[in-house]
Structures are given as structure tokens and as C-alpha cells.
Amino acid sequence: MNQRGVAESVQWAILMPALLMLILGLVQTGIWLHGRAVAAAAAATIADLRVPGDDPAAAEDAGRRVAASGGLTDVGVEVDIEQGLLVVTVTGRPLSFLDFGLTQIRERAVLPAEVVR
């Protein structure tokens, strides 16, 4: 093997892992952004279904189904009425290749409370 072949092998040995890390990072970013959109949709679903006369548990259950169908796990739902606003917070974790504890997603939906009461 000549010097040129060794240099090319070393270049590829350095370049390929970096390229694979870049591709996996882009895929992971896409998964995380999708998880945020799913959590926001779940929060909006719960807020929209919290109308007067309806069962609040049914609204929360519908939001949890939206989150689960979008791939979120460890889904948590908080519903508060603060300063005349209905605040729905949905938390969850999307799938991930490497979880360093940074994949927790938290999204909120806010409606005027008089629409809910």
C-alpha cells in the first residue's frame, strides 16, 4: 500500500463517524421537533374540549390519546385556571437515540377561562 492509500483511509476513518453523527443529530432534531408539535396538539385538544357541561376527564383522556398516538411517552397533563386563563400543560418524552435527560418536552395551551366555565 502506498502513502496515498494510507492518507485516504485515515481521511475516511475520521470523516465517516463525523458524517454519521451529523445525520443522526439531524434525525434526532426532527424527532424532537415532531414531539413538540404533538405535545402542543395534545394541549390544544384538552383546552378545546374543556367546554362547560363536558367531563374534564374525557378532555384529558383525549389529549393523552393524541400524545400517545404521536409517539410521546411518560405523558403528564396539568390543567390550571390562573388569572382568568385556562392553562393546559402537557409534558412527555419523544423517542431518542441517546437520552441525556434533555428530551423532556413541555408545551402549553392557553384559553380565556370564561370560555371554559
Which residue, chain included where needed, has cell 463517524?
Answer: 17
The domain tally of the chain equals: 1
Q: Which residues, other chains included, contact 106 with Cβ-Cβ below 8 Å and sequence gap of 6+?
A: 39, 89, 90, 91
Write the pLDDT tens digit of every residue in 83-98: 888 899 999 999 887 7
Q: Using CA of residue 117, residue 75, residue 29, residue 101, what is the dihedral sign?
A: positive
Q: Any idea how long the chain is?
A: 117
For 62, the domain range is: 3-116
pTM: 0.81
pLDDT digits (tens, 9 = 90+) for 36-82: 999 999 999 998 887 666 778 888 999 999 999 999 999 999 988 88
